[in-house]
Structure 1
């Protein structure tokens, strides 16, 4: 797209939004400063570098498109390519299975920060900060229950693993001089009718109490609920009710994954409700299709509504934004770019909403006027603002990134066996 046309379109859009009291330059500045945490597992289909096995524990990446990252160097190379095609501020979200194990068999209850110092240095060089996750799935001791396992030997193994992960996250946060957000999600559940649901939830509660008792100043823990997983359809120990109650009672950050709800639920409704009772939210932005299928995030109603609610609730400073999907059926670099751009577009549209006028209409009971403006804002020229945002940061505008990714595929990805 010609620079002259982008600039011309932006000036028209800027004037149009100004007529509604919206400052497009300020919206762009806010978007540039709002961090989005990239999930490392899109690059290799959630395999990691511990055992080289596909994910288990109720999650699954489908597709076998060539070119996935096979080692740390290739994964870092791919993330660097992704960064080169995006404007804004980015973090990298790591699972424990992505450590640098050096070919050694380091079990999960033995992992230390030594396996992640390379990541910390690399992230600093890339001007990125790190987030972290404990990993309860894809392990001989995973089974159906980890932190909620009645077997003390299995349970203590996973408690120790999670404690160690929190310490690693704390070291990351200290190194980068910014808190590392560490998510705790366990797959625990049952395939069929479960009799002692309360027992397993009590065990999980006690395990979390022990894990979170250690005060670590450079990291923040968050807890993630789920509806169900493959092979664990009947019962999930860490349900929404369980974690909402636990986080509210214990003042812990709540992870809101857009794929972990019933298909008919409006996930955005949870934002303002949860923020009355929990200190912060971690957002895992995904796209469920019938279930938690983790399709690539799109600029759809669910994504737009989520970020719109976040901005309307004045909660941007109490939320951390991350992506969480894994599609192995398409070019994985492209999957990153599509998802990030969808999140950015949704954020930008939320920043450009004429909120002052909408709030005034609502406060005065002018419901027709409110609905009319909500409809009209849908066709405002926010796309011209997003194009300018990319141009301003020397990033491909519009569909221009497609050719760049095709070139990378031909020169790099296609040569991976």
Structure 2
């Protein structure tokens, strides 16, 4: 290891030790955290089942940066490159439309065999897999409703698809020896103000109950449900609101997914974490960056990302939380987006782990708010960057912006050739 990196690390470690922080132990815990990289950043949410189908369901990708993946092999190759530049061992999050098959099949016909290429690859790479049914960009979703559709035949199609997705996820969990988190999000809603808000929610509840009727061991599959405030085409009403899914998760024993972009523009998910985990066993986070709306910008280390990390660390909630990313930016290098967003998420967790949480809680309990504020502010200028550099180097990944040169080389040799 570079002597400068090591010397800076030892100085930083001594400074943090003055507050009772064991930096080596913090790095061990950090290395155990798996971030789930979303495959859809690599190809602008196109997938491989219906390549010519336009995006729908309130989803839009802007930009036309060259080199997006066009086949499962290309996407896996790009993911390998991104993961080689990110410290730690992580997971990859798949949508159903990313099936690796030459068969012409519909969503309700998917089976584990259609994803065996992903399973074999994940085993080779030492990765876990997460999953999502794809309830958008499909002819049976064009009316804006899926699991809450008034037509029972259309509802049954989506129920079959969601059931098939759980079976695929269970297969992932068994094959890879770690649970697959299967997240259920549907775009159902109205563009304008509805007369009847209740009936679609009743239908959604009944459909979900049918989807989850079969018990699956949580060692293999963990179900999560995800809300949204609004989307393109559902500006006035979304069936699966936050209140709907919070109640559903609590009453049905499911994990609740909080997406950073799925709430009011100034509403933060960090403040919800401690409340929700009092009443549900597990939480799924979709870490994203909304800019005025659910625009899914690449995650930067902003105040909200830091607050999310602090909530998880200060409350000792990491063991009950699954952290996934959810952004798609077609205006920049697709691999760089993964690397920037994932490294920032890990950095934020590291910064939170380098706080003297017990000491800060003691000050708060004693009513010494002056010391609490002074210490939290002074810690912001402590040399966490030196610890981060050491962590990257010890994990065999590039230090600081060194990774960018490798992405640029890969872009010239691989991406532009596409």
TM range (shorter): over 0.9
Secondary structure in structure 2 of the residue aligned to 1:292: coil
What corresponds to 1:313 in structure 2? 315
1:390 aligns with 2:392: yes
What corresponds to 1:404 in structure 2? 406
Distance across 1 between alignment mates of 2:196 and 2:279: 28
Query: Could you list the per-position Cα deviations for residues 5-53 of structure 1 after superposition, in whole angstroms to 9, with x for gaps in the alignment?
Result: 1111111110110001111111111111111111000000000001113
Secondary structure in structure 2 of the residue aligned to 1:322: strand
1:96 aligns with 2:96: yes
Does structure 1 conserve the Cα–Cα contact (< 8 Å) formed by 2:260 and 2:268? Answer: no
Match of 1:285 among 269, 284, 287: 287
Query: Could you list the per-position Cα deviations for residues 173-202 of structure 1 after superposition, in whole angstroms to 9, with x for gaps in the alignment?
Result: 111121111000001111001111100000
What corresponds to 1:46 in structure 2? 45
Secondary structure in structure 2 of the residue aligned to 1:200: helix
What corresponds to 1:192 in structure 2? 192
Does structure 1 conserve the Cα–Cα contact (< 8 Å) formed by 2:12 and 2:387? Answer: yes
Residue 362 (structure 1) shift: 1.0
Match of 1:364 among 363, 366, 383: 366
User: Counterparts in 2 of 1:87-166, with a 5 A limit?
Assistant: 87-102=87-102, 104-143=103-142, 144-166=144-166
Residue 87 (structure 1) shift: 1.0
The unaligned stretches of length 5 or more in structure 1 are none
46-55 or 151-160: bigger deviation: 46-55
Distance across 2 between alignment mates of 1:388 and 1:7: 7
Secondary structure in structure 2 of the residue aligned to 1:89: coil
Residue 363 (structure 1) shift: 1.3
Residue 101 (structure 1) shift: 2.4
Secondary structure in structure 1 of the residue aligned to 2:37: strand
User: Counterparts in 2 of 1:16-415, with a 5 A limit?
Assistant: 16-52=15-51, 53-102=53-102, 104-143=103-142, 144-217=144-217, 218-415=220-417
TM-score normalised by structure 1 residue count: 0.98
Aligned length: 414
Distance across 1 between alignment mates of 2:60 and 2:54: 8
TM-score normalised by structure 2 residue count: 0.98
Does structure 2 conserve the Cα–Cα contact (< 8 Å) formed by 1:46 and 1:54? Answer: no
Distance across 1 between alignment mates of 2:405 and 2:341: 17
Distance across 1 between alignment mates of 2:3 and 2:84: 23
Distance across 1 between alignment mates of 2:9 and 2:253: 43
Residue 415 (structure 1) shift: 0.4
Cα-Cα RMSD: 0.9
Query: Could you list the per-position Cα deviations for residues 176-232 of structure 1 after superposition, in whole angstroms to 9, with x for gaps in the alignment?
Result: 121111000001111001111100000000111111111011211000001111121
Distance across 2 between alignment mates of 1:85 and 1:109: 36
The unaligned stretches of length 5 or more in structure 2 are none
Secondary structure in structure 2 of the residue aligned to 1:290: coil
What corresponds to 1:15 in structure 2? 14
Residue 335 (structure 1) shift: 0.4
Over 3 Å counting, the alpha-carbon distance change for 1:354 and 1:54 in structure 2 is farther
Does structure 1 conserve the Cα–Cα contact (< 8 Å) formed by 2:39 and 2:92? Answer: yes
Distance across 2 between alignment mates of 1:188 and 1:41: 21
Residue 307 (structure 1) shift: 0.9
Distance across 2 between alignment mates of 1:136 and 1:199: 20
Residue 264 (structure 1) shift: 1.1
Query: Could you list the per-position Cα deviations for residues 152-182 of structure 1 after superposition, in whole angstroms to 9, with x for gaps in the alignment?
Result: 0100000010011001101111111211110
Secondary structure in structure 2 of the residue aligned to 1:231: coil
Query: Could you list the per-position Cα deviations for residues 83-126 of structure 1 after superposition, in whole angstroms to 9, with x for gaps in the alignment?
Result: 11111121010000000121x32011111111011111110001
Distance across 2 between alignment mates of 1:267 and 1:136: 24
Distance across 1 between alignment mates of 2:343 and 2:55: 26
Residue 60 (structure 1) shift: 0.8
Residue 338 (structure 1) shift: 0.3
259-268 or 93-102: bigger deviation: 259-268
Distance across 2 between alignment mates of 1:89 and 1:394: 12
